[in-house]
Amino acid sequence: MQSDNRWAAESYPETYQDDVNRSIGFSGLGMDMFARGRVVDTLELLRLHSAAGEGQVSCLDIGCGVGVSHPLLKPHLSRLVGVDVSAEAIEAARGANEGVEYAVQEVERLPFDDATFDFCSTTCVMHHVPPDQWPSFVAEAWRVTKPGGLFAVYEHNPINPMTRWAVWRCPFDHDAVLLRARRVLELLQDQGFEIVTRRYLFFLPFDRPWARRFDRLLRWLPLGAQYVVCARKPICRESS
Identify the pLDDT of residue 107.
84
**Structural domain of residue 75, as residue ranges?**
16-232
Q: Could you tell me if residue 173 is inside a domain?
A: yes
In angstroms, rounded to a whole number, what is the distance separating the alpha carbons of residues 145 and 168? 33
Q: At what angle do helices 134-144 and 181-191 cross, to 10 degrees?
A: 60
Contacts of 114 (CB under 8 A, 6+ apart): 143, 144, 239
- Higher confidence at residue 206 or residue 94? 94
pTM of this prediction? 0.86
Each residue's pLDDT tens digit, 59-100: 999 999 999 999 999 999 999 999 999 999 999 999 999 999
Domain count, the chain: 1
pLDDT tens digits, residue range 96-131?
999 999 999 988 899 999 999 999 999 999 999 999
CATH number for the domain that contains residue 173 = 3.40.50.150
Q: Is residue 3 part of a domain?
A: no
**For residue 5, is it within any domain?**
no
